[in-house]
Copies of this chain bind each other. A is one copy, B any other.
Amino acid sequence: MVGQRFVQLLHNHPTFEISVLAASEKSVGKQYAEACRWVLDEDIPSQVGDIIVSSIEPSGHAKIVFSALPASVAREKEPLFAEAGYHVCSNTSAFRQEPDVPLIIPEVNAGHLELIDVQRRQRGWSGSILTSPNCTTTTIVMALKPLDDAFGVKRLFATTMQAVSGGGHPGISYLDIVDNIIPNIEGEEEKIEKETCLLLGKIVDGRRIAKEIVISVQTNRVPVVDGHMASLSIGFEEKPTVEEAIRVLSEYRGPESVRDLPGAPKHPVIVHSAKDRPQPRRDRNSAAGMVATVGRVRVCPLLDLRLVVVTHNAIRGAAGGAVLNAELLVASGYLQ
């Protein structure tokens, strides 16, 4: 499903062009339209549908490889491409925790890209691996980053309500989730806690230092197609007023190096003033699915502030995030 989102986003991309589509052996040699079972609501781009699927081997003239492989396959294949000179923009969890592999949301920690130099030096690669975080981490961190810059995040409560597409296709069955909620997504809570601290951390002497935040996450799967929602309560070093928090979120632009990337939204965070927003279905597609929509910013009786945030898990939280990472890579000169 993330693969299909990659196809959708890259098909009309202003600077990237799809030259090779690679998949597992059972698809090799078939037309993509026949090999994939296209499940997105928009039609498959017809030129792309005609491409003959290749095997997952480093070959062809492409410079960037977008990977939505299963983690175990990614673990084996992605390094082969990096070694052969390709830049792998991965949406898998395979290498996210490696100390020399950047885990990046451009508006949050574009500077971590410098880890690539460490990575290439240490591993002797002419290419590289660059990862984007778990979709729910993305939702949470996009709302946290402006506040962390301004007031210092120290504690975080998060209850997530995650869309079904976050589990890929076919994912959970209708019989299991309609008129229902599943109060756990295996392994997700740990990932969110770790990745959040990494993304808000810093690079010192080529080493990644995770930020120390005490985090408590409760994940839930809800009957929503696309759009992860998180209800957050945040404790700060310096407690802001609600108005200050709203201003900081609304005015956030991200690092300058990121603002002009083709896929970067003008404002990474949109603050909605209506009392019943954000909503997954009505806000997930704002700004082409690349923003975090925040609402209900208010005082928390226990920590300092509470808010609710929604992002499109399959675009911003997956394929769109990895494409933006690739744009950052290009803009940073790594392809020359």
Contacts and interface: CB of A to CB of B under 8 A. Distances in A.
Interface of A: 39, 41-43, 155, 157, 159, 161, 164-165, 169-184, 186, 193, 214-216, 218, 220, 222-225, 229, 231, 233, 275-282, 285-286, 295-296, 300-303, 306, 308
Nearest to A193: B301
A280 B183 CA distance: 10
6 contacts: A43-B286, A159-B231, A171-B173, A179-B224, A181-B280, A214-B302
Contact of A295 (B183, B295, B300): B183
A216 B233 contact: yes
Contacts of A277: 183
A268 to B, nearest CB: 17
A78 B69 CA distance: 43
Given A181-B280, A229-B183, A216 B301 contact: yes
Given A164-B174, A218-B308, 12 more contacts: A39-B175, A161-B222, A164-B175, A169-B175, A171-B175, A174-B174, A181-B222, A184-B275, A216-B306, A218-B231, A218-B306, A220-B231
Given A184-B275, A214-B302, A170 B161 contact: no
A159 B232 CA distance: 10
Given A157-B157, A175-B39, A279 B165 contact: no
Contacts of A181: 161, 222, 224, 229, 279-280
A215 B171 CA distance: 36
Contacts of A220: 161, 229, 231
A152 B293 CA distance: 38
Contacts of A224: 179-181, 223
Contacts of A165: 175
Contacts of A276: 182-184
Nearest to A279: B180
A-B interface, 5 closest residue pairs, ranked by CB to CB distance from nearest: A170-B173, A159-B159, A180-B281, A216-B302, A183-B308
Contacts of A179: 178-179, 223-225, 280-281
A174 B223 contact: yes
A165 B275 CA distance: 21
Contacts of A303: 216
Contact of A178 (B225, B231, B301): B225
Contacts of A296: 183-184, 218
A156 to B, nearest CB: 8
Contacts of A180: 224, 279-282
Nearest to A275: B184
Nearest to A215: B301
Point out which of A181, A218, A220, A296 has the most chain B C-beta atoms below 10 A from its C-beta.
A181
Contacts of A175: 39, 164-165, 169-171, 225
A1 to B, nearest CB: 8
A140 to B, nearest CB: 14
Contacts of A279: 180-183
Most B Cβ at <10 Å: residue of A43, A164, A218: A218
A217 to B, nearest CB: 9
Contacts of A178: 174, 178-179, 223, 225, 281
